[in-house]
Amino acid sequence: MENIIKGKAFVLGDNIHTDQIIPAEHLVYSLTDEEESKKYGHFALSSVPIEKSGLPNGGIKFIEGDNYISEYKIIIGGSNFGCGSSREHAPFALQKAGVLAIVAESYARIFYRNSVDGGFLVPLETPEKLNNLVSTGDEIEIDLSTYFLTNKTTDKTYTLNNLGNVLPIVEAGGIFDYARKNNMI
Amino acid sequence: MGMTITEKIMAKSAGKKNISIGESIWLNVDTLMTHDVCGPPVIGIWKNEFGEKAKIWNKDKLVIFPDHYIFTANKHANRNVDILRQFAKENDVDNYYDVGTDRYKGVCHVALAEEGYNVPGNVLIGTDSNTCTSGAFGMFATGVGNTDGAFIMGTGKIWEKVPESMKFTFNGELPEYLTAKDLILTILGDITTDGATYRAMEFDGSGVFSLNMDERMTLTNMAIEAGGMNGIIAADSVTEEYVKSKGITDYEIFNSDNDAIYHSKYNYDVSKLEPVVAKPHSPDNKDTVRNVAGTKLTKCYIGSCTGGKLSDFKMAAKILIGNKVKIPTFIVPASTQVAKELAEETIDGVSLIDIFKNSGCDIGQSSCAACLGGPDDTFGRSVDKDVVISTTNRNFPGRMGSKKSEVYLASPLTVAASAINGVITDPRDFL
Ligand code: SF4
């Protein structure tokens, strides 16, 4: 695990559900075929209503044109991020699109587990809502050794919750690597 | 200190005497369920991670129901079922219910009950968020993603944080116009879609125990819509009778202690509750049917694990008998067994299926169908600016197909009444 995560912020509202992250009609593509799985990146966040996509102003596409990689590496959400279905395709799609971390007030349980156990990205929780303090496009730096998030654009720093007892799984890079490290499998 | 039913089952499964809220423990899984959308990636991860020595920890404990994208020409969707078939063959998985055979069942959560996989006191994990449905049988049941599914497939184990519990007590006997769907939509309106995140939702009270198993499953089915880890109803004589009819004799009944600790408790008097809907675009956007009555609709849908069970159709038929629907109304029996029962069950000597046909409904084949939209050729899928009233469990934009459509969630009684008028209608007008 890298201790420093850097990138541009993409800001979303509360209750971003898995149907918005990756709509059900796209769940049929292979997750293992390198070429085909790029479609997940291409359609990531494609069902977020456009006026709520890229806050505070909205109207910003997460993925431009035919791309499958987004220019935004850090997602700033509100409460209950990733609610809805159990589809692991959701954190997978975000990872495919190049997302490294999500920062939100709270997560739906299955999305949180999937992100951690699959080693797709780091789901970080904040004690206060950050999605009205950060704007889409702001340059963000997260230090996982101190749990500080710095908005380089506004030069403000915020504290994140520590990862608690999922830290060893995040550090190992997912549940399988964790289990191998601990001789469970 | 007392324990809740959820804590007791988790402790048993972890082989521990005492567990504390917030602690992460390793559970021994009794049953793992997967389906055609998540099964192929689960299999992919399992093969990848365990390599040559990949072995199912206990193949009798693995159950696979293809159910999501079944009656479609979509080649990617059909490829997924091919992967399941191949896997079941290679690994001798007896509990595989293949499409196109007599064994085919349909929607997994309903089929789990029918096929006798729901066992009081057990731990059941499924790669589907609505796996919480099985909690209606006094068991711990929850949904996970593909990686967790693959991990269980190889090890039989899963880590879980012991959740806080919330208790929802319904007192009194449900009046004829009220259903389990109204109860759970009422709760959702009160606590919102993240009101139970990471928590157990325990349902209790005379109103709950007066319900049959179908209706109890409607309650626990939507625990996830409030973010709940699991929904649970202690097993009683109704549960025992059901599981015994499936040949299950080895089970354990747990009850919460009187001095168990709860995060919060909610009490409802069912005689004071009304039929409700969840308005677009969220299951917690509650309103009374009376308040939205008259809203113009273009489609009605009765189906899914939430609202496509036998008792759901009995309720709908009670209203539809002798009436004609005004707008396209889709009937999708959740499972092939429910489909069979629609032909056998009668009201005033007319089978339910004939009641639906006579009133002008379209009958589909057992599967998830338009509950989650599905490929373009999916039966009952919403198109363009459809305004749908549905017995399903989610109404997020695009969930039933078109992103421009609007979906109201309601009980089978309310949907049937609305089908007759073509506008949202209170079922009491027909009872
Ligand atoms: S019927 Fe709907 S909610 Fe139930 S398992 Fe199928 S898609 Fe999920």
- Name the minimum distance, in Å, from the CA of B35 to any CA of chain A: 12
pLDDT value of residue A25: 82
The per-residue DSSP string of B89-138 comes to HHTT-SSB--TTSTT--BSHHHHHHHTT---TT-EEEESSGGGGGGGGGS
Q: For residue B53, what pLDDT is reported?
A: 85
What CATH code is carried by the domain that includes residue B335? 3.30.499.10
Interface of A with B in 28-57 (CB under 8 A): 28-29, 31-32, 47, 49
Check residue B21 and give its pLDDT. 94
Q: Does B39 touch chain A (CB under 8 A)?
A: no
Q: Does residue B70's CB lie within 6 angstroms of at least one atom of ligand 1? A: no
**Residue B234: left (phi > 0), alpha (psi -120 to 50), or beta?**
beta
What proportion of chain A, given as a percentage, has pLDDT over 70?
99
User: Cβ of A118 under 8 Å from any chain B Cβ?
Assistant: yes
Q: Are residues B199 and B287 in the same domain?
A: no
Orientation of helix A89-96 relative to helix A109-117, angle to 10°: 50
The two beta strands, B165-171 and B200-204, are parallel
In DSSP terms, B143 is beta-bridged to B126
Chain A residues with CB inside 8 Å of B74's CB?
Answer: 28
Same domain, B295 and B239: no
Average pLDDT (B81-86) is: 98
The encoded tokens of residue B336 equal 């092939």
Between CA B122 and CA B28 the distance in angstroms is 10
Residues 6+ apart with CB under 8 A from B102: none
Locus of tokens 């996982």: A144
Residues near B191 by Cβ (< 8 Å), separated by ≥ 6? Answer: B166, B226, B266, B284
**Contact in structure between B206 and B303 (CB atoms under 8 Å):** no
B140 in contact with A at a CB cutoff of 8 Å?
Answer: no
- What are the C-alpha distances in Å from B210 to residues A19, B2, B84? 35, 26, 39
CB-based contact, A17 to chain B, within 8 Å: yes
Tokens 């159910």 correspond to: B67
Question: B306, B368, B393: which to mutate for ligand 1, most atoms within 8 A of CB?
Answer: B368
| A154/chain B closest Cα distance in angstroms | 31
The full 3-state SS of B308-346, as one line of letters, equals: CCHHHHHHHHHHHCCCCCCCCEEEECCEHHHHHHHHHCE
pLDDT in tens, A69-121: 999 999 999 999 999 888 899 999 999 999 999 999 999 999 999 999 999 99
Domain of residue A38, CATH code:
3.20.19.10
Same domain, B285 and B322: yes
In a domain, B273, yes or no: no
In A, which residues are within 8 Å of B373 by CB distance? 23-25
In the predicted structure, residue A140 carries a pLDDT above the cut 70 = yes
- Position B403: which residue type? K
Residue B272 counted as domain residue:
no
Answer whether B427's CB lies under 8 Å from B289's CB: yes
Quote ipTM for the complex: 0.91
pTM equals 0.94
| pLDDT, tens digit, 9 for 90 and up, residues A35-73 | 999 999 999 999 999 999 999 999 999 999 999 999 999
Residues B336, B257 within the same domain? no
Report yes or no: B141 and B27 within 8 Å, Cβ to Cβ. no
Which H helix or E strand runs over A4?
Answer: strand A4-11
Closest CA of chain B from A84, distance in Å: 7
| Rounded distance between C-alpha atoms, residue B166 and residue B79, angstroms | 42
Q: Please, which residues 89-108 of chain A have a Cβ atom closer than 8 Å to chain B?
A: 89, 106-108
% of chain B surpassing 90 pLDDT: 97
Q: Parallel, antiparallel, or unpaired: how do β-strands B200-204 and B230-232 relate?
A: parallel
Residue B244 lies in a domain: yes
Model confidence over B334-367: pLDDT tens digits? 999 999 999 999 999 999 999 999 999 999 999 9
Domain count, chain A: 1
pLDDT computed for residue B374 by the predictor: 87
Residues B212 and B319 in one domain: no
Q: List, for residues B263-291, the tens digit of each pLDDT value.
A: 999 999 999 999 999 999 999 999 999 99
Domains contained in chain B, number:
2
Please check the confidence at residue B384 and state whether its pLDDT lies above 80.
yes
Check residue A24 and give its pLDDT.
Answer: 84
Distance between Cα A129 and ligand 1 center (Å): 32
Distances from the Cα of B95 to the Cα of A67, A136, B28, B156, B356, angstroms:
42, 49, 19, 16, 33
Cβ neighbours of B194 in A, within 8 Å = 15, 79-80, 83, 106, 108
CA-nearest residue for atom 4, ligand 1, is: B305
Domain extent at residue B365: 278-429
Q: What is the pLDDT of residue A1?
A: 65
